[in-house]
Structure formats: C-alpha cells, structure tokens
Structure 1
Amino acid sequence: MRWALGVGAAAITAIGLVMMFLLAQATNNRALYERNYALLFGINVVVAIFLLLVLVWVAFRLIQRLRLGKFGSRLLIKLAAIFALVGVVPGALIYVVSYNFMSRSIESWFDVKVEGALDAGLNLGRATLDSLTEDLSSKARAASAQLAEVPDTSAGLALERIRDQLGASDAVLWTGSGQLVASAGTSRFQLNPERPTPLQFRQARTERGVAHIEGLDEASPPGATPPVATVHALMIVQRPGFEFSTDARFLQVTRPIPPALVANALAVQEANREYQERALARGGLRRMYIGTLTLCLFLAVFGAVLLAVLFGNQLARPLLVLADGVRQVAGGDLRPTTVLQTRDELGGLTRSFAVMTQQLADARGVVEKTMGELEAARGNLQTILDNLTSGVIVLDAAGTVLQTNPGATRVLRAPLAAFEGQRLAAVPSLADFAQDVQQQFDDFQVEHLQHGLDHWQHAFELHPPGGGMQQDTINIVARGAELPGSARLLVFDDISEIVSAQRAQAWGEVARRLAHEIKNPLTPIQLSAERLQMKLKGKVEPPELAILNKSVKTIVDQVDAMKRLVNEFRDYARLPAAELKPVDLNAVVVDVLSLYETEAPTVTVHTELDPRCPAIRGDAQQLRQVIHNLLQNAQDATETAQGGKGSGEVIVRTRLDDTGKRVRLTLQDSGHGFAENILKRAFEPYVTTKAKGTGLGLAVVKKIADEHGARIELSNRIVEGAVVGAQVSLSFALAAEQPATPAIPDEHSPTTVA
C-alpha cells in the first residue's frame, strides 16, 4: 500500500508539473503545447477515472465499517471529511476564480484600447519619420541653391559647408547621367559610392527633389543592436539663366536617424505584428488554458479526497489513544498511558505522551517546592527593598510606576506607593523629574546601542511642593538601567547634605582667599593718602587744599569700609565650630534686643516669646550672631519698604511646636519680600538685594544652623495674594529629652522694643 501510494503520488505530481510547464510556455510557444495536448489530456482522463474508482471503493469500506459499529469509525469519517473539504473547497474556489480571471484576462489582452494604442504608436512613428524626411528635403533644396553657380572644380568645399549646415553624414554631387562630381563625408573614402537609381533621378528632375528612408525594413533579432537607418534627399541643382544645353546636377544629402527613434519604431512595429498574430489565435489559447486548468482541478480533487481517507485512517487510532490519555490526565491521574509500538510520528507521539505524563508528575513536585522557595525569596527581596535608605522605582517603557520602596517616598517626599500603576509624571511636583528621567532613558538607549553602556547616572535637583527656598531643594543622584521585559530600574540617593557642605566649604575657601588678597594692600593705601595730605598741607592754595582733604577723607572712609568687608569675609571663612550646650533661647533673644533699645525707633520690634520653651542645644554666642543678623536684615527690609516713615514693624517669635520636641524661632518683617530667583539662592554667599550688602548675613545664619542641626526655612508672607514681607524660621532640638507641654496657640508673652 505504501509503494502504491508513493508511485501514484509521484505520477500525479509529475503530470501536474509537466502541464504547468506547458501552460507557462503556451503563450510564447503555442506549437509545443498543441503537439502534446492530446496525449496529456488522455493520460489525465485515465488517471482521473482510476482515482474515481479507488475513491468509490474506499467510501464503500467506510460506510460498511460505520454500519458494523466499529470504534473510531465516526472519527475516521470526520477526519476524511475535513481533509476532503480542505482540499476540495479551496480547489473549487480557486478554479472558479481562475476560470473567470483567465477568460477575462485573455479577452483583455486583445482590448480595443490596446489595438488603438498600437495603431497610434505606428502612426506616431510614421509622422515622426515623415517630419524628418520633410525637414531634410526642405533644407537640402535650400542648400542646392548654393551650388547653382559653383563650378565642379570647387564643389568639394561647398559640399563640406553644406554637410556641416545640415548636420548630415554625407553630401554628394551627381551629374544627370550618374557621374560623381564631388563628395563630402563618409562617401569621400569610398571607391564606388552608392548612386541613386535612374528612377530617383527622373523623380528628382520632375519634382525638383525626392527624399526617402532606408534601413527600417531590416528586422533585428530581440536584444540585438537596432540597424542603422538614414534619410536620403536628392535635389536638382538649378542652373542660373537659361542654360538648357548644360547637363543637370543633383545634390544627394544623407542624414542618420537617431538610434533611439529607430529602436522605438521597430519595437512598436514588432509588437503590433505579434498582437495581430495572437489575436487570430486567442480562441485556441483560451481553450488550452481552460482545459489545462480543468484537468488540474480533477486531479487535485480526486487526489485530495483519496489522501484524506487514507491519512484519516492512519490518524484515527493514535488520536483515540491520545484522547483516552488526555481524559486520564485531565482527571489528575498522571500515571503512564498506553503506547503504540509503531515507527511513525503518531506512534512516537503516544510514547512521548506517556513520557510527558511521567514528567508532569515529577514536575508537579518540583514546582510545588520551587514555588515555596520563590515566595521565600520574594519576601526576602521585599524586606531588603523596604529597609534600603536609597530610593528604588521600577518603571515601564511609558514611565508608569510598577513598584517602589519606602526609601523612594522618603527621598522624593511624595506618596509614591499611592501612584503605583500610574505615570510618574502624575505624582505632584515630580512632572519635571519624570520628564528628565524619561529623557535620560531615551538617551541611554542610543548610547547603549553605540557604546554598549549598561547604565546611566545623573544628578537632579528637585523642589518639593510648597517650598521654593534653596534650603528645601532636594539634590539626588540617580542611576538607571534596563530590566528584562522592557522594564526600567531607577535607584537614587539624597545628597542634599553633601552638596550643601561642599557649597559651604567652597564659599569659605573663596572668602578666605578674598580676605587675604584684599586686606594686604588696604593699609598702604590709607597710609599713602594720609602721608600725601600731610606733605601737601600748607603748600597749596585753600581751594585745592579743600579738594585734597575731601579726597583723602573719601579714600580713608572707603578703605575702612573695605576692611569691614574683609573682616566679614574672614569671619565667614573662620567661623568656629559650635559648642553645643543647653541654652535658654528666650534669654538670648532678650539679651540681643537690649542692644536695640537705644536706637532711634524707625522700626518697631515686637516680640512674642513662649514661656514654655525648654532649653535647646546651642552655642549662645553664635545664636546671638544669628538673631542679630536676622534682626538687622528684617529692620533694613522694613525700613526700605516704608520709605523711612517708621510705620513698619518686625516680629520676633519663639514657640514650642505641637510635638513638644523642637523649639521654633521666627522673625517676620514688613518689607517687599524676595524675588523668586533670590528666594531659591538666598542662603548662598554674596547673594543680596541690598545696595551696600555683602550677601554674607544669611550665609552665616545657614552655616550656624547647620552646625546646630537646625532646620531653616525662608519664605514670603502672602496675605490675600499680595506679598507683605518675609519670614525666616529656625527649628532647634531640645537640650535633653524631657516631657513638654504641647504648644497652645496664641499663648505667649508679648513685649515691644523700639
């Protein structure tokens, strides 16, 4: 049976391939197809009848098995029907579509439009060639007039000139009897040039000229170089006067036709000839195509149905075994199932299924053990993430937050856990940070492809909501990398304290160098000015002496101002380390305010000191400097805003916070507040809004606050949308852990100092 199936399938395949080859060659080699068509048709009919008989016999056997009730008969019939439908339905559909397409396509080959296009092409070629002929005729006729009075001895030079004027390849002057007078061009090198026929001489004498085309009647094989075609014009040369006894002369001009024009003209002519030949044979061509298509359909349908039955029988038994095994596995029984000892793939499939059930049983135990280990590892990983001081965020390619740890919430000061499943840009105050991170990952993709980098690292500066002050800026350094599955890992640390310390150290070094470089020349300048005043005193007139004294006083005053500035630089650079001891903050405030009691009351200082404030950890001397700097800044700002009218006030307030663990010192002024750009950098050295300020006051305050571990805040006071002043707050830790009474608002001991 296997040999019979193999030989039958090979025969059908060979016949089909031969018919496909002949069908492909039918258009260009119709004679070959017609010679073998009858033989192929007879062979196909015999094979089709044989397949039909076999198909009837197999169908009878299937019906007989079904009536006997043999197990698997229905499955076998179903498989055979499925395979038959798979082969027959697409084949029939393709046949119908191909039949209509072929019938209409053959007719479309010989459409009126195609024939009209070919005729139009022929007419266009003829018109173009006629135009070339007429052009050469008219130019040759005009050129012949130039030879009327030229004697035969000097005709060669005139012919050269005419050939150049007409762009011709050859120009020859003949007598009426066909004798060569002179020539120019290629004919000059020929011993016996081709002369016009007597008929052409007579036509030229009768019609005063004649022109024709040569070379287009020679057909060249496909792909060969087209022949050389030329236009010949023969014009009579008129004699001046009435010299009837003189023999007439004729001018022959030859001009080559462009090769592209010749090739196109021959191609259109050849296409028109082939079109006319195939138009006459289109009926037979259609019959051959449709006949071949029909025979192929019969072979394909009968072969498909027969193979469907045979393959269905081979598939039925192993599939039944597999079906029983699947029911067994579905019920949870993973014992090995029955196997077939055949050598084909389906027998191997039953054996593989039995091995698979055994492997499933083994894998079930391994999976249960692995799941327990995986849960333990996941718990350990989550514990590590929760206890990391660094922030960790896992994002997808679109910037959506997949996972975070508490360190990320602590560093970024944003509730990231509540935004898992949302875009990082949706987190309040992190839109810019999310955009920068996305840009870093996009740039990393390019760098990874070009240089093979496995991560990126970048520093960011964030501003929490409600902040805006330089001291609330969060400086972080982030590191990003790609995770499997297009996920992205972002790890970052808060380096604000490091940045602040580096900035303070840098400014301190700048201040030290400035103090050193500026202070040295100040004393010689002052002494030189005073010495100049002393030497010139009594030696100049009173007007010049007054100018001299005024100039010297200006130099001395400015040198003193420079010395004070240098001293402030020195103090900032050499600020000693704080000696933290228990200090009564209220007493320090009262002690500092006593220095302002004797000053003119241009600005009123109002105090609100909380008597419940316990002692704090601090350096009393440095705290006095802090209060003095802040109070002086507040008075200057208030005085500037009020224009010296003395209607503003400064409020100094101490208060124990609600937790009872920190004491807050607050100073409020009634000035113009700070601009946004100054507010963010107010604690940097040499940043000031005063015309004569050095910008070191708040920098010293920030440095002392850092030494005390105090939190400092700077903001504008806004009432009903308008800025009414500025406020500086410092929060100090208590000297020792001790119970404290919660702060009660509005309970304080107000005093007023002018």
Structure 2
Amino acid sequence: MSPPQPASRGTRNPRALRWAWGVGAVVVMAIGLILLLLLTQSTNNRELYERNYARLFAVNVVVAAVLFAVIAWMAVRLLIRLRRGKFGSRLLVKLATIFALVGLMPGLLIYVVSYQFVSRSIESWFDVKVEGALDAGVNLGRTTLDILANGMADKARSAGSQLADIPDAAAGLTLERIRDQLDANDVVLWSASGQLIASVGQSRFLLNPERPSPQQLRNVRSQRAVAAIEGLDETGTAAESTAHIKALALVSSRGLGLLAEPRFLQVVQALPPALVANAMAVQTANREYQERALARSGLKRMYIGTLTLSLFLAVFGAVLLAVLLGNQLARPLLLLAEGVRQVAEGDLTPKAVLQGRDELGGLTRSFANMTQQLADARSAVDHSMAQVNAARANLQTILDNLTAGVIVLDAQGLIQSSNPGATRILRVPLAAFEGRPLAEVPSLEDFAKRVNAQFDVFLSEQTHHGLDHWQQSFELNATASPFSQDAITLVARGAELPGSNRLLVFDDISEIVSAQRAQAWGEVARRLAHEIKNPLTPIQLSAERMEMKLLSKLADPEQALLKKSVKTIVDQVDAMKRLVNEFRDYARLPAAELKPLDLNALVQDVLQLYENDAATVRITSELDALCPPILGDAEQLRQVIHNLLQNAQDASEATRRPDFVPEVSLRTQWVSAAQRVRLVVRDQGTGFPDHILKRAFEPYVTTKSRGTGLGLAVVKKIADEHGARIDVSNRVVDGAVDGAQVSLSFAIETSVAG
C-alpha cells in the first residue's frame, strides 16, 4: 500500500499564509506589549512621562488600529464564507466567537476593576491631611534652617568682638581659634572694600575665594550680622555635600579716628547631611504633590487612557488569537469533513494530511491511510469485477455461440436466463418470457412438466445416489404424422446450481436421428438389394421361356393373353430391378474423390443432355463467370445435378397449363464474402408440403406417387461427402408458394487446400 500523500501545493500555500499571519500577529502584539511597558515606566518619571506620553500613546493607538483592521478583515472573510455557504464556515464562526468571548469577558472584568481602582486611587492621593502634613513638614524644615542660620549669625557677631583690637597681621591666630570655637569649616576676615585680610579653613587653598557682594556688606553694616543658607538648590548627594550656613558679621574697631575702617568676619559651617536630605525630600514631595494636584484630571485621563488602550490591545490580541487558534483547530476537522464528503461521493484520490504531531494531525494521517486502503480495495474490486465481467462476457459469448440450448430456472420453474441456441432449437423467443414459468411458453407446457418431474426425481435421489446431473431425451411437437415439420427430438441434461437454481442444457438431435435413420435405411436397402435382385432374373427368364414354348401351341386369343401376361411380368421385373439398383446405389455410394473442378463446365456438360429432351418443362441456366474452381467428384456431382433437374421437372410438370408453361432454372453464383460457390436449382411446382420439408433429405420421403424417395437422400449424402451446405425451401411470391428451391454451397479449391 502506498503511503498517504502529503498536503498538496494547494494546501501548502494557505499553510504558509497562516504562518505569516501568525508571526505578524505575534510581532504586533509584542510591539504593543513593549510600548505598554515603556508607557508604564515613563509614568514613574514625570518629565519623561510628559515628554513621551503623546508619542507612546499614538504608537499604541496605531498598533491597536492595525489589530482592529486585521480582526475586521478576518471577520469580513468569515461572513463572506458564511453567506456563500462554504463548508466549515459555521464551525469557524463558532470557534472564533467562543475564543473571543473567553478572552473578552476576563479583560472587561479586569478593566472595570482597574478603572475603579485607578480613579479612586488618584483621588486618594490628594487628601487634605496629606497636603497639610506636607505643608507642616516644609514649614518645619524652614524654621529649623532659620534657627540654625540666626544662631550662626549671633555666634559670628560674638566672635567678631574678639577681633576688634587685633591688627590685620595677627588676625590669623584669632581666626583659627574662632574656627575651633564655632566648629566652622571656613573663617575669613574681609576688609571694608572686600579685600581678603586673613582666612582659615578651605578658603585659604583658593586663589580667588568668593567675595561678599556690596549688598551683603551694606546689610551687615545695617544689621551688624546676617546669615544665609546656601547649596539647597542642588539635588541628590550634591546638596548634602555643599549645603552650608554662611554668616557675615561686622567687626568694629575700638580705636578712634576717621581713617579706621570696619572689617567683616565670614563664617561658613556645613549643614548636617541628614537634615539636608530630609529637608530636600519634604520640599520635593511637596512640590510634586502640588504639581500633580494641579494636573489631577489630566493624570487621571492619562492613566485611564493607558488602561483602555491596554484593554483594547489585550482584547484585539485575544480575538486575533481566537481566530487563529480556531482556524488551527478547525482546519484538521474541515480537512477530515471534506475528505469524508469526497469519500461519500466516491472520490478516493489521495487526501491531504497535516504534518503536526498532535492527535488531530495523526487523525488526518489515519484518515488518509484509510482512504488509500479503500482506494486499493476498490482497485482490487474493480480489477476483480473487470475479470468477472470479462469472464461473464466470455461465458455469454460462449453461450450465445453454443449450438446447444441453455436455460436457467429457479426452484419454482421460472425462467432466469436463456441463450440464443435455446430460442433457435425450441423456435420460441424465450427472452420475452424471462421471469415467467417455462410452462407458460406456448407449445412447451408438456416439456416443462416433464423437465420439472425429472428435476424432482433427481433432487430426491441426489443425496442417496450422489448424482450430479440427469439426462433424458424428449420428443417435442410430435403429431400423428412421423414426418411433421415441427417435430423436434431433444436430448436434455439437468443439474443444480448454487442458490437452488437449475441448469437445463439440451441439443437438437433431429439431424442425428435423421442420419441414423438414413444409415438404417441404407442397411435395409443393401439387404433388400441382395435379397430381391437374385430371384428377379430367373423370374424374367422363366416368363420369356414360357412364352417361347407355349406361344405356338395356343390359339390366338390365348397367345394374346400369354404375350400380355409375359410382358407384364417382364416390365414389373425391370421395374423391380431399377428399384433394386437405386437401393444398391444409395447403400453403396462410393467415397468422393475430390479434385479441382470447374462447376460451370460440368453444368454445361449436363445441360447438353437435356437439349433434345422430350420433356415439356424447359430448363434455363445462369452461370456466373467469376466462379473459381471447386473441389469435387465430377461423377457424383453429375448425379446430383441430374437428380435435382429431374425432380424439378417432375414437380413443374404438375403445374403445366395451356396458358402457363413452367420452367426450371439452374444458376451458379460466386459469394466472395463467404468464399463459397453456390449452385441453385429452382422449379415452378407446388413446393414441398410442410410435413415433407423438414425431412426432405431422409430416404423414402417423397411426394411422387411412383418415386422411391432416394433422390434427395442421395444428393444429401453426396453433399456431405463434399463438405457442402445444402438447403431446401419453398419459394413464396406475393404470399403464395411458387415452387421449391434447392441450393448447395461448395468450398473453393484454394480454401480447402489451404
């Protein structure tokens, strides 16, 4: 058995197309998920969120639109298939709907819950207590920083009193002491013009330390001491490392004089990192809270829009996957259903299979194997049926060409079938009586009854004697006359067929019986010739001697009587001699010596003997010049022609009238289609009676009052010796018999020799 065929080219292209659609759908969904992830991450960074939200949202909308277009296109295709009534459309729609609902309902539930959660969560972010707490934290940080700054300003003013009497050259040691006292990072002494006098700490390593601004110096003169917090504008760890308190105090000089200038003491102290970090955190949180409070509705719309877009992507992806998965699930089923439909319609061509390893792919392969097995079985059955049909045709041809008759009967005697031989032998159209009892066939009632009786006896004795057939002879249409034309002698043989049918085979042995009768008559003729011929000569001689001895001794009246009596005896003896000679000729007809013979020349030779014939019936001839030589015995064929002409003249003589002179015609003909030469003799007599026509060639069957009936019998015997076909019939013209016709058909020389 050949393996199942893989999917054809027509099924590979849709498969590649489905793979392309599947890969495209996965790519689009992956892009959507990535965009959603980026959108989610951007919400943690306000600036990034505000800068990229529009573009991310637009790209997600495009992806959603593409998915929606694909789903709409597939839905339109499904609707078109459904309207056209294509096989499997309803199943595809049902599977797609089921998978879409499976993906849609959970998505909608999650969306509703998430929508409520997002809406209420955003509102909960902007509570009054949270806002008050953030404001209190900011105020607390400011107050703390202000206290630290004011304290540092007071300390710087107190430390400035220590420098009142210290000259500029010795101010360094005092500054070092002040730095230690105040735990400052940097201490600098500035002149009234803003020139550096002395410094300790980090500023001494600077080539150009930052000078106080003139405004700051004026403030110090008016307020004696000022302090400011710097570095809080930085973010992250930079603020923690650079945030400090810068205090600037006026150092008054105690000397009196117009030239004495005031000096300024600058003290820089770093703020604690924890304090700076907390202050910055509270400040940042308060700022973000205020910003988001102002953009509360826009933020809500962004989050809800992002959630809705996520729902669309999820739902579209679910529907698309539903259609694809439904198609993948339905495709093997549709393939099987289409294959089943084709098998139901008788199409057993190799079916397409799926190469998947799942159960549905295995099912398609099993179905393809089953279809292939059915195809092989059908092929085997077709081959067997072809053989059976060929055998049946051969058997029918044999039956049609059998010379024997064959009839098949059922157990009730109904005719099931018959061959042309049965119709020819029984002379009844048996084909018109099929399905009817044999006893209903005209003229076969007695035959059917006897056949059924033979079958009954055979079936009853079959089990006891082990017989397989019966054989019996039958005489059909027998009448009071033994020479009836319709009388048929049959030898029949019967047997039982499978299924209680009965086989009846029979053959017409009328010709055989006629031949046996002819053979018997030949034997009788031989014995009669032997027994009768011997006493005839002594009787004739004795009568003639009596005439010679007694004629002179008798008176005239007695002499006349004697002459008349002797003449009667001699004539009758001659007649008996002729009869005995005919018997002898029929019984002792020698075997024919077949030689090439020109039939036309032989006919012309015989016709010369009838030119001066005193018969009143004229003989005409029509000889075909195309007749080739035949194989025959000239003497025997001469006797055949003589017998036929004499019989024809005798038959035509009875119809002679003053106004009508009958004639006998002799004709030869070359039949090229049959490769035979035909000899036909016709008369214009009364024809053969019906009871004579069938047995015309049997001995002693004659219509003449004085004939022996051996003429046609001798002709038939000579024709058989020559292998010629002989036929006798009545000529019918305008519905009336117009004489008889005897025809002989001879084989040509080349045909027989070959």
How would you bin the TM-score normalised by the shorter chain? Answer: 0.3 to 0.5
Greater C-alpha radius of gyration: 2
The TM-score, its normalising length taken from structure 2, stands at 0.43
The TM-score, its normalising length taken from structure 1, stands at 0.43
